[in-house]
């Protein structure tokens, strides 16, 4: 397998010797041999389903990890992979997909081989046992991290960092800490798999292995001839001691070993097999010692750590050992552990990797022990900071560590015959904004980030789309070069240069030439009405008929119009509704921006403007009265509620006062002043006590005396104020007998009382013949209050509660007009009509937007500029007009008859233009009005003719309209006219995510609309067949 590789590889292979060849050639090991899959398959249900036999992968870019000079290029753009039974069969720039293969088209994603982390502590570490009373040796070659690797654990978080294969290291605390293993975190069968066990002997020359704890071996039981000896110090305590300790251990291993010496036996096996040594060293001096030791011991070696490798790069290069450079997120080494000697931690130089690579050393990048392997890509990026190229960094994370760990025959690059372990990234591997989209191991989907709605990614960017690049025209403010828009949940969350990108966001790079604009608005659309030209009156609510966007609406959306002001073809005489809808969206709720965005009114021609004005005045007057009536009602109701609250408080206070008063003899004066009142009728406060009740209970009752019949309601013990019970009975003399209409098993309750004094009665309330309560009542009010039992709601009483005005659906929209919330869209062709209409509207102080307004130019600007909020220009951009001299009519030449007063706007006869072709000119209302500072909007006045809205605007710009004003006319100005600018019309945070991406200036005819987003959802620009 070695012969196919490049010369440099062959040299290193020769150096590293037999240990790098496949397992078969390794010497037999007395300790456990390494079966390929020593672990039972984990019952992990989180892995993808059965992988297909043939998988064909297409991607925008593929990093293959192949070495220089091999048949496969290291970087393919675009690229394709064919995977058969979990192994790469073919890889090239373009390939034919076999007919029986499952095709995976990754778009413009980046594919790279699964990363290999050459140092991890996923198998725990063989650090000294805390609080142990046991012999803990500094030289312990028998530790095996494969014992503690958890094959049942969920390794997806590590896989999602792009790492598919790891070396399980034994730790740095012991001088010889064990022999590590290489594991894949997933496999074609599902669970993790060991690729190699006991693959390298670990020697630690760093500061961490100095001063191990003393060794204690107490005899059990201690006796005079077997005393407890003091703990013995063990090597290494100094740097020299480290080298001495290793040499001693090796010497012991070559001699006879006691049968209980597991470490010695393990070391002997390693020596016999000439297993590679992994020597951990960070400082410059340590690194030199490491190379010296490796040479002395005669084993192949790998130098691990090499934080200060840049300082001794030449010597390391001369020694020709491969190096694993450990890079953590902090540029310092991890802080000293407790119990460790207090030494200065060596400072990581990010240029170490680059310096070594430049001198031809094989360098692999890894995360430091204790760090999360999922940060390995970031380690690669930091190495770039130190001077590595992207290609070198990719190799240092994939192919080189695979070869170092002796598993290069299976993993490390995407070349024919290797395992198909690859990572799908959203962008180039070392960019901050790139993230892992999918991880495949042996052709099986091993991990992908959780769905956007999950808790883990919610609020962290899941479901966010970021569109960036080019120029952003927000519709308000200045253009932003190189900016971006971030959309989440259909709303814009941020806009600006260098917009913040949450992790996991989908990034759409549009390129430097593109222009990003808000979605366009069509100020007059008939989308939902179709060809139905009925004049529907104001009480017709179109919303009931709105459903998900149909093909016509989507067609409009595809051409950039994202919001349409939908209205009837022609307004009803009394007005019609205008509804603001989105042109895309699957539900009504998603499409409605405003159910009532305006009232469309139509002013018939120039005939009899005064009559028409009167009619309008009347109509608006009625509407205003209606609106005012409602406003007044609202005020009165509020006032009445206030009074009721105060009154009930007073009443309650009064009742309380009355109840607190001692029962007094009724003043005869009262009797003499008024005529003798009805002894029963009125409101009574009731007290029920005794019997089985622990405390007296009070309530109320209302009674009415009619002859000798008594009726009313009862609310004490049975019923309550809001839901009293009916009561009926009779009065004979001073005895009042009542029966309460309550259904209980022992019979209806009865009250028998004596009117012993005015406004007072006392007696008994009986329930059948079993219970009797003491009953007394005091009258508080002599008027009978008709209590109508209303189900749990406000009681309606005749106490002057203001009655609501009758609801008139056809006038309801005008309430919002008079409140200033929506405009009246006036469609009027004639200048006369406009003039009179505006006068009427001005009287009523409503906002007016003119639709069409072909003859508006014949009115003096001053007359209408203050009243008209905006103009929706005709759908034909360039219209002919008759030049009129606007202003005062010049004095007639010569005297003539009495001058008939003419309505302003008609030119004076002397100045009446001659209707000749020469005096007709073509003008662009959009350009002219916007030049005068009046907001304009574009309309389609059709169903799908809105397709041409953007082109119309471009034409207007060509004819002289200011492009900035043109963009405003498509976006924010119509939004402001119809008061929907809080939802649409510009790219500002909080508004709908309606975004258009043009390939260039939107008003250049050569520009193409590349992307359309409505509420954050991209609209496919190709029509479905």
* Binding residues for another protein (CB under 8 A): 32, 38-40, 42-43, 46, 123-126, 129-134, 140, 142-145, 147-154, 156-157, 160, 170, 178, 220, 258-262, 449-451, 454-456
Least distance from C-beta 769 to another protein, angstroms? Answer: 41
Q: Which residue, 139 or 348, is less far from another protein as judged by CB?
A: 139
Task: Provide the minimum distance between the beta carbon of 451 and another protein in the complex, in angstroms, as a whole number.
Answer: 8
Query: For residue 440, which of 52, 1011, 975 has the smallest C-alpha distance?
Result: 52
Closest to another protein by CB, 145 vs 429, is: 145
Considering beta carbons, is residue 372 or 911 the nearer one to another protein?
372
Choice between 128 and 630, CB closer to another protein: 128
d(CA 123, CA 120): 8
* Shortest distance, position 623 Cβ to another protein, whole Å: 56
DSSP class of 283: S
Minimum distance, C-beta of residue 448 to another protein, in the bound complex (Å): 9
Measured in degrees and rounded to the nearest 5, phi and psi for residue 466 equal -120, 125
Task: From 234, 231, 255, select the one nearest 244 (Cα to Cα).
Answer: 234
Q: How far apart are the first and last CA of the chain?
A: 52
Burial grade of 585 (CB within 10 A; 0-12, 13-18, 19 or more): buried
The full DSSP string for 2-69 is -TTS-HHHHHHHHHHGGGGS-GGGSPP-SS----TT-SPPP--TTS-SPPPSEEEEEESEEE--PPTT
Question: Whose Cβ is closer to another protein: residue 45's or residue 732's?
Answer: 45
CB 38, min distance to another protein, A? 8
Smallest distance, Å, CB 253 to another protein?
16
Task: Please list, in sequence order, all residues whose beta carbon lies within 8 angstroms of the beta carbon of residue 24, skipping any fewer than 6 positions away.
Answer: none
Which CB, 38 or 378, lies closer to another protein? 38
User: Which residue number, 444 or 869, has a Cβ lying nearer to another protein?
Assistant: 444
Taking the least distance from each CB to another protein, the nearer of 37 and 1010 is 37
What is each CA distance from 857 to 55, 91, 723, 853, 959, in whole angstroms? 68, 69, 68, 8, 18
Helices (H), 529-608: 551-558, 588-591
Pairing state between β 515-518 and 995-998: antiparallel
Complex with another protein: residue 455 or 900, whichever CB lies closer: 455
Rounded to whole angstroms, what are the CA distances from 767 to 732, 764, 776? 22, 10, 16
Residue 33 or 638 with smaller CB distance to another protein: 33
Q: Which is nearer to another protein, 24 or 258 (CB)?
A: 258
Q: How many residues does the chain have?
A: 1025
CB of 79 to another protein, least distance (A): 28
- The least CB distance from residue 256 to another protein, in Å, is 9
Nearer to another protein, 161 or 729 (CB): 161
Q: How far is the CB of 132 from another protein (least distance, A)?
A: 6
When the beta carbons of 47 and 926 are compared against another protein, the nearer one is: 47
Sign of the alpha-carbon dihedral angle for 602, 606, 609, 612: negative
CA angle 431, 47, 76 (to 5 degrees): 40
Q: What is the DSSP letter of 408?
A: T
284-297 and 239-254 are packed helices; what angle lies between their axes, rounded to 10 degrees?
20
Alpha-carbon distance of 4 to 24, in angstroms, equals: 19
Our CA angle for 937, 942, 947, nearest 5°, is 75
Q: In this structure, which long-range contacts are made by residues 1019-1023, counting pairs with CB atoms below 8 Å and at least 24 apart in sequence?
A: 1019/554, 1019/557, 1019/558, 1019/584, 1020/558, 1021/558, 1023/551, 1023/555, 1023/558
Query: At closest approach, how far in Å is the CB of 183 from another protein?
Result: 13
Which CB, 42 or 472, lies closer to another protein? 42
Q: Which class for 556: exposed (0-12), middle (13-18), buried (19 or more C-beta within 10 A)?
A: buried
Candidates 77, 423, 384; CA nearest to 413 is 423
Helix (H, G, I), strand (E, B) or coil at 617: helix
Name the 3-class secondary structure at 919: helix
Containing 1017, the helix (H) or strand (E) segment is strand 1017-1019
- Minimum gap (Å) between residue 766 Cβ and another protein: 43
d(CA 603, CA 615): 10
The least CB distance from residue 219 to another protein, in Å, is 10
Of the two residues 125 and 830, which places its CB atom closer to another protein in the complex? 125
Please report how close the Cβ of residue 150 comes to another protein at its closest, in angstroms.
Answer: 4
Least distance between another protein and beta carbon 454 (Å): 4
Q: How far is the CB of 463 from another protein (least distance, A)?
A: 14
How many Cα atoms within 13 Å fall on the side-chain side of residue 780? Answer: 21
477 contact partners, CB below 8 Å, separation of at least 6: none
Please give the radius of gyration of the chain, using alpha carbons only, rounded to the nearest integer.
45
CA pair distance 845, 820, nearest whole angstrom: 9
Helix axes 831-844, 609-660, angle to 10 degrees: 20
Cα 648 to its chain centre, rounded Å, is 50
Query: Whose Cβ is closer to another protein: residue 171's or residue 401's?
Result: 171
Q: Between 153 and 931, whose beta carbon lies closer to another protein?
A: 153
Closest approach, Cβ 449 to another protein, in A, equals 7
Query: Min. distance of Cβ 378 from another protein in angstroms?
Result: 19
- In the bound state with another protein, the residue whose beta carbon lies nearer, of 60 and 124, is 124
Report d(CA 853, CA 864) in Å as an integer.
Answer: 12
Minimum distance, C-beta of residue 160 to another protein, in the bound complex (Å): 8
670: its two tokens: 């009262």
According to DSSP, the residues that pair with 565 across neighbouring strands are 580
């Amino acid at each position: 397998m070695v012969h196919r590789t490049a010369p440099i590889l062959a040299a290193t292979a020769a150096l590293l010797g037999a240990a790098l060849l496949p397992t078969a050639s390794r010497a037999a090991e007395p300790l456990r041999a390494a079966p390929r899959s020593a672990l039972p398959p984990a019952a992990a249900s989180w892995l993808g389903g059965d992988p297909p036999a043939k998988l064909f992968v297409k991607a925008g870019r593929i990093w293959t990890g192949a070495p220089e000079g091999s048949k496969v290029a290291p970087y393919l753009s675009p690229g394709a992979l064919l995977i058969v039974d979990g192994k790469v069969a073919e890889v090239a720039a373009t390939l034919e997909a076999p007919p029986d293969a499952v095709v995976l088209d990754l778009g413009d994603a980046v594919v790279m081989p699964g990363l290999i982390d050459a140092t991890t502590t996923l198998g725990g570490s063989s650090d000294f046992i805390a609080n142990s009373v046991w012999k803990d040796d500094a030289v312990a070659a028998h530790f095996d991290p494969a014992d503690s690797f958890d094959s049942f654990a969920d390794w997806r978080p590590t896989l999602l960092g792009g790492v598919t294969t790891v070396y399980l290291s034994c730790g740095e605390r012991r001088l010889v800490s064990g022999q590590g293993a290489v594991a894949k975190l997933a496999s074609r069968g599902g669970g993790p798999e060991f690729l190699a066990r006991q693959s390298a002997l670990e020697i630690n020359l760093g500061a961490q292995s100095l001063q191990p704890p003393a060794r204690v071996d107490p005899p059990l039981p201690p006796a005079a001839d077997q005393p407890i000896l003091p703990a013995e110090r063990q090597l290494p305590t100094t740097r020299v001691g480290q080298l001495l300790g290793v040499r001693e251990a090796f010497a012991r291993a070559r001699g006879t070993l006691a049968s209980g010496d597991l470490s010695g036996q393990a070391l002997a096996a390693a020596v016999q097999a000439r297993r590679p040594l992994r020597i951990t060293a960070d400082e410059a001096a340590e690194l030199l010692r490491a190379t010296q030791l490796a040479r002395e011991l005669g084993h192949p070696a790998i130098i691990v750590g090499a934080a200060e490798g840049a300082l001794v790069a030449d010597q390391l290069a001369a020694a020709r050992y491969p190096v694993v450079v450990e890079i953590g997120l902090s540029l310092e080494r991890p802080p000293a552990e407790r119990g460790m000697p207090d030494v200065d931690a060596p400072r990581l130089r990010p240029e170490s990797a680059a310096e070594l690579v430049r001198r031809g050393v094989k360098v692999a990048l890894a995360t430091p022990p204790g760090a999360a392997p999922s940060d390995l890509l970031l380690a690669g990026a930091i190495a770039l900071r130190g001077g590595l190229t992207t290609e070198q960094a990719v190799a240092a994370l994939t192919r080189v560590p695979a070869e170092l760990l002796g598993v290069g025959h299976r993993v490390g690059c995407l070349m024919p015959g290797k395992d198909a372990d690859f990572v799908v990234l959203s962008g180039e591997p070392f960019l901050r904004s790139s993230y892992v989209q999918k991880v495949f191991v042996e052709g099986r989907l091993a991990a992908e980030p959780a769905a956007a709605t999950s808790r883990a990614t919610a609020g962290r960017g899941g479901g966010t789309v970021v569109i960036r690049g080019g120029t952003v025209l927000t519709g308000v403010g200045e253009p932003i070069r190189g900016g971006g828009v971030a959309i989440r949940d259909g709303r814009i969350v941020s806009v600006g240069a260098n917009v913040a990108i949450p992790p996991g966001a989908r990034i759409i790079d549009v390129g430097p030439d593109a222009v990003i604009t808000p979605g366009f608005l069509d100020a007059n659309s008939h989308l939902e009405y179709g060809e139905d030209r009925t004049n529907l009156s104001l009480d017709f609510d179109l919303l009931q008929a709105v459903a998900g966007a149909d093909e016509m609406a989507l067609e409009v959306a595809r051409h950039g119009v994202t919001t349409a002001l939908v209205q009837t073809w022609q307004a009803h005489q009394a007005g019609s509704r205008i509804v603001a809808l989105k042109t895309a969206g699957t539900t009504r709720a998603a499409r409605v921006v405003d159910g009532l965005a305006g009232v469309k009114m139509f002013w018939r021609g120039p005939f009899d403007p005064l009559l028409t004005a009167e009619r309008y005045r009347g109509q608006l007057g009625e509407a205003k009265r209606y609106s005012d009536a409602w406003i007044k009602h609202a005020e009165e109701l509020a006032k009445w509620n206030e009074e009721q609250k105060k009154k009930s408080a007073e009443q309650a206070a009064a009742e309380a006062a009355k109840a607190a008063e001692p029962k007094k003899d009724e003043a005869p004066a009262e009797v003499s002043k008024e005529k003798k009142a009805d002894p029963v009728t009125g409101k009574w406060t009731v007290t029920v006590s005794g019997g089985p009740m622990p405390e007296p209970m009070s309530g109320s009752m209302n009674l009415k005396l009619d002859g000798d019949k008594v009726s009313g309601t009862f609310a004490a013990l049975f019923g309550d104020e809001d839901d009293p019970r009916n009561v009926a009975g009779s009065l004979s003399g001073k005895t009042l007998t009542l029966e309460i209409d309550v259904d209980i098993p022992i019979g209806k309750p009865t009250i028998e009382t004596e009117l012993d004094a005015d406004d007072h009665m006392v007696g008994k309330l009986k329930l059948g013949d079993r219970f009797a309560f003491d009953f007394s009542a005091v009258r508080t009010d002599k008027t009978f209050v008709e209590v109508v039992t209303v189900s749990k709601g406000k009681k309606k009483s005749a106490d002057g509660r203001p009655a609501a005005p009758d609801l008139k659906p056809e006038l309801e929209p005008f309430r919002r007009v008079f409140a200033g919330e929506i405009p009246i869209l006036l469609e009027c062709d004639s200048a006369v009509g406009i003039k009179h209409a505006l006068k009427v509207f001005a009287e009523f102080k409503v906002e007016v937007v003119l639709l069409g307004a072909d003859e508006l130019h014949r009115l003096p600007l001053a007359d209408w500029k203050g009243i008209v909020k905006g103009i929706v220009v005709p759908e034909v951009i360039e219209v002919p007009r008759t030049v009129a001299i606007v202003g005062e009519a010049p004095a007639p030449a010569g005297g003539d008859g009495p001058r008939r007063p003419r309505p302003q706007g008609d030119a004076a006869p002397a100045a009446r233009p001659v209707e000749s072709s020469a005096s007709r000119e073509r003008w662009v209302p959009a350009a002219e009005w916007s030049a005068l500072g009046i907001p304009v909007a574009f309309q389609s006045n059709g169903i799908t003719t809105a397709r041409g809205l953007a082109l119309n605007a471009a034409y207007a710009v060509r004819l002289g309209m200011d492009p900035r004003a043109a963009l405003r006319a498509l976006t924010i100005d119509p939004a402001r006219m119809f008061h929907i600018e809080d939802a649409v019309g510009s790219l500002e945070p909080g508004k709908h995510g309606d975004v258009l991406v043009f390939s260039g200036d939107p008003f250049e005819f050569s520009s193409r609309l590349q992307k359309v987003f409505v509420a954050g959802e991209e609209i496919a620009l190709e029509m479905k067949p």
